């Protein structure tokens, strides 16, 4: 790593730092020896940037850049700035929000576009080839980023891609690790480890109850693709509308707080609200007896008591990382 020593330069950007040997020690030394220099470094989401050989936890701030939220997509694509809301505000002010924005900004149509192609900003340059490019990017992450970060070889990368191909046919699903192990001809530990790699890379999302360990060898209760654009890239979305609903709600809730597996319903957020996802005719039957129960419904445009239309949930405020 070579830094320019001209006195009038004190700002540097380093891209894909995970591909550089001894990156954390080098960055630590730069911070310690050149206190006036400012660095912005980027890496794959799979990298725990604070966990290298050099202790960077007291030397830098970390920001996790996720795909675009619906409100960010509206700003990026249409130059429309919409406010975002807490879950409580969505429940209390759903009518006012609908009246102010839904028809005026044609949000129903734009929301459906977002579900298909609005998560990664390079959809603009990719055009009709966006989903093909997205699938290529995911495979490149496995071949390149995972190889650099997790030190996997060609055969391991091939096995992970084989697992991803199987997952794409059945998400969302509750994993039977023994069956996956047999179907993929892998050990149990390899299955759980590779699921964790895919999760760390923001390709899949493993939902767990709060009582379970965060260990990479703890089986998730349910596995989703990380966002709905991936469903279209791997042609999952053509199979089941319910998959699109659950994937979108999971992704959106995970931007706002801790999402876990409830005893009833589909999701629990921050161990407080229990959420069931469904179509226009979904009732509270499956959430009977649960406090703070919320229905998120696709196919409706107005909310109600304890009911949030799916498009409206897209305006949920994102917590800062």
Q: What is the pLDDT of residue 320?
A: 59
Query: Is residue 163 domain-shared with residue 248, that is, in the same domain?
Result: no
Query: Is residue 27 domain-shared with residue 175, that is, in the same domain?
Result: no
Q: What is the pLDDT of residue 244?
A: 96
Query: Is residue 86 domain-shared with residue 132, that is, in the same domain?
Result: no
In a domain, 250, yes or no: yes
Single out the residue in 191, 214, 233 at which a domain terminates.
233
Single out the residue in 233, 265, 291 at which a domain terminates.
233
The average pLDDT across 181-191 equals: 95
In a domain, 67, yes or no: no
Say whether pLDDT at 55 is over 90: no
Q: Which of 22-36, 76-90, 236-250 has the highest mean pLDDT?
A: 76-90
The enclosing domain of 170 has a CATH number of 1.10.10.10
Single out the residue in 182, 212, 233 at which a domain terminates.
233
The average pLDDT across 153-158 equals: 95
In a domain, 154, yes or no: yes
In a domain, 215, yes or no: yes
- Residue 23 tokens read as 């990156």
The average pLDDT across 131-140 equals: 95
Say whether pLDDT at 262 is over 60: yes
pLDDT band of 12, cuts 50, 70, 90: confident
Query: Is residue 179 domain-shared with residue 256, that is, in the same domain?
Result: no
Query: Is residue 224 domain-shared with residue 134, that is, in the same domain?
Result: yes
Say whether pLDDT at 138 is over 80: yes
The average pLDDT across 22-45 equals: 79
pLDDT band of 58, cuts 50, 70, 90: low
Burial of 225 (0-12, 13-18, 19+ CB in 10 A): buried
Query: Is residue 97 domain-shared with residue 246, that is, in the same domain?
Result: yes
Q: How far apart are CA 16 and CA 133, in angstroms?
A: 19
Q: What is the pLDDT of residue 309?
A: 98
In a domain, 271, yes or no: yes
pLDDT band of 54, cuts 50, 70, 90: low
> In this predicted model, what pLDDT tens digit does every residue of 64-112 receive, in sequence order?
788 999 999 999 999 999 999 999 999 999 999 999 999 999 999 999 9
Q: What Å distances lie between residue 136 and 132, 133, 140, 141, 230, CA to CA?
A: 6, 5, 6, 9, 11
In a domain, 228, yes or no: yes
The number of distinct structural domains making up the chain is: 3
Cβ contact 199:206 at 8 Å: yes
The average pLDDT across 50-63 equals: 64
Query: Is residue 182 domain-shared with residue 247, that is, in the same domain?
Result: no
In a domain, 187, yes or no: yes
Q: In this predicted model, which residue has the larger pLDDT, 236 or 168?
A: 168
Q: What Å distances lie between residue 114 and 74, 123, 130, 212, 315, CA to CA?
A: 9, 10, 13, 33, 13
Query: Is residue 267 domain-shared with residue 217, that is, in the same domain?
Result: no
Query: Is residue 204 domain-shared with residue 150, that is, in the same domain?
Result: yes
Average pLDDT, the chain: 89
pLDDT band of 21, cuts 50, 70, 90: confident
Lowest mean pLDDT across 26-35, 78-87, 249-258: 26-35
Say whether pLDDT at 120 is over 90: yes
Say whether pLDDT at 175 is over 90: yes
What is the residue range of 204's domain?
128-233
Q: What is the pLDDT of residue 34?
A: 80
Q: What is the pLDDT of residue 57?
A: 65
Query: Is residue 15 domain-shared with residue 157, that is, in the same domain?
Result: no
């Amino acid at each position: 790593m070579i830094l320019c020593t001209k006195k009038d330069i004190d700002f540097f950007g380093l891209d894909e730092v995970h591909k550089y040997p001894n990156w954390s020690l080098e960055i630590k030394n730069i911070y310690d020896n050149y206190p006036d220099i400012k660095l912005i470094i980027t890496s794959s989401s799979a990298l725990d940037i604070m966990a290298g050989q050099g202790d960077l936890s007291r030397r830098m701030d970390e920001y996790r850049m996720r795909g675009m939220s619906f409100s960010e997509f509206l700003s990026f694509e249409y130059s429309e700035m919409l406010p975002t809301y807490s879950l409580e505000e969505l429940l209390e002010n759903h009518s006012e929000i609908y009246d102010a924005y839904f028809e005026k900004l044609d949000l129903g149509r734009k929301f459906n576009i977002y579900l298909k192609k609005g998560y990664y900003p390079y959809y603009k340059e990719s055009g009709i080839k966006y989903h093909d490019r997205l699938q290529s990017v995911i495979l490149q992450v496995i071949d390149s980023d995972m190889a650099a970060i997790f030190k996997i070889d060609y055969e391991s990368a091939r096995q992970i891609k084989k697992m991803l191909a199987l997952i794409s046919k059945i998400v969302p699903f509750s994993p039977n690790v023994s069956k996956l192990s047999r179907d993929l001809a892998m050990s149990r530990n390899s299955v759980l480890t590779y699921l964790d790699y895919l999760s760390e890379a923001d390709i899949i999302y493993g939902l767990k109850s709060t009582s379970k360990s965060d260990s990479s060898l703890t089986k998730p209760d349910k596995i989703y693709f990380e966002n709905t654009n991936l469903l279209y890239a791997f042609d999952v979305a053509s199979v089941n509308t319910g998959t699109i609903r659950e994937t979108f709600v999971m992704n959106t809730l995970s931007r706002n707080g801790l999402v876990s597996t409830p005893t009833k319903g589909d999701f629990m957020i921050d161990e407080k609200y229990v959420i069931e996802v469904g179509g226009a005719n979904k009732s509270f039957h499956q959430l009977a007896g649960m406090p703070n129960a919320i229905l998120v419904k696709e196919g409706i445009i107005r909310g109600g008591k304890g009911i949030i239309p799916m498009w409206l949930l897209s305006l949920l405020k994102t917590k800062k990382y």
